[in-house]
């Protein structure tokens, strides 16, 4: 009987311990601005679009355009597209970045941040399963992952992302308590 009473508590502790934070980022965006994430002192929620392959880049681009159109002027949200290039040969990386920069409008370059390290941590965080998918993360200012999805663009998933952001903006008290 005591075990049955402890089960809800154990479930709650397991849920809290499963919350993960994004790996620290200190990198340059395509416009050469310095990006440091997470930003614990900030009040902005983060929307991150993470890609792990060339094919995922096209999928991430669709997501990023939609997110940019809806959140560009929202001071409560900061959004970034993160192409993870750690597995790309180091001689090829500058060519990849050049291609991304060339295909990106100047006003959006500050939102694209190539990542050259912590690929395994990113894959663990997003529960990596499909190399050509876009991985979406909504995180708090402290970097704690609050919502995730992956796949090609869909109105249903985007609607869910928007609902989560709206709920967080309206009710910041819904953020998980600090451990």
The residue segments making up the domain with residue 144 are 20-165
- pTM, to two decimals: 0.86
Q: Considering the domain boundaries, does residue 171 fall inside one?
A: no
Q: Considering the domain boundaries, does residue 81 fall inside one?
A: yes
Q: Considering the domain boundaries, does residue 79 fall inside one?
A: yes
Give the pLDDT of residue 19.
66
Total domain count, the chain: 1
Residues 63-96 have pLDDT tens digits of 999 999 999 999 999 999 999 999 999 999 999 9
Residues 97-122 have pLDDT tens digits of 999 999 999 999 999 999 999 999 99
Sheet containing 77-83: give its strands across. Answer: 77-83, 45-51, 134-139, 145-151
Q: What is the CATH number of the domain that holds 98?
A: 3.40.30.10
Q: Considering the domain boundaries, does residue 83 fall inside one?
A: yes
Q: Considering the domain boundaries, does residue 114 fall inside one?
A: yes
Cα–Cα distances in angstroms (integers) from residue 65 to residues 46, 59, 112, 121, 124, in the given order: 16, 10, 11, 26, 26
């Amino acid at each position: 009987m005591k075990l049955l009473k402890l089960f809800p508590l154990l479930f709650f502790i397991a849920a809290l311990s499963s919350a993960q934070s994004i790996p620290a980022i200190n990198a340059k965006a395509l416009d050469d601005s310095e990006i440091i994430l997470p930003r614990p002192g900030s009040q902005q929620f983060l929307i991150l679009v993470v890609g792990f392959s060339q094919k995922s880049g096209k999928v991430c681009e669709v997501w990023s355009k939609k997110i940019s159109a809806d959140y560009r002027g929202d001071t409560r949200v900061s959004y970034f597209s993160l192409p993870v290039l750690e597995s790309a040969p180091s001689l090829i990386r500058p060519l990849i970045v050049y291609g991304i920069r060339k295909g990106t409008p100047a006003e959006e370059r500050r939102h694209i941040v190539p990542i050259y390290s912590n690929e395994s941590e990113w894959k663990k965080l997003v529960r990596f399963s499909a190399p050509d998918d876009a991985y979406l993360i909504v995180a708090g200012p402290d970097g704690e992952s609050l919502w995730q999805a992956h796949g090609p663009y869909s109105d249903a998933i985007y609607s869910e992302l928007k609902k989560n952001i709206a709920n967080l903006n309206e009710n910041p008290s819904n953020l998980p308590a600090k451990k």
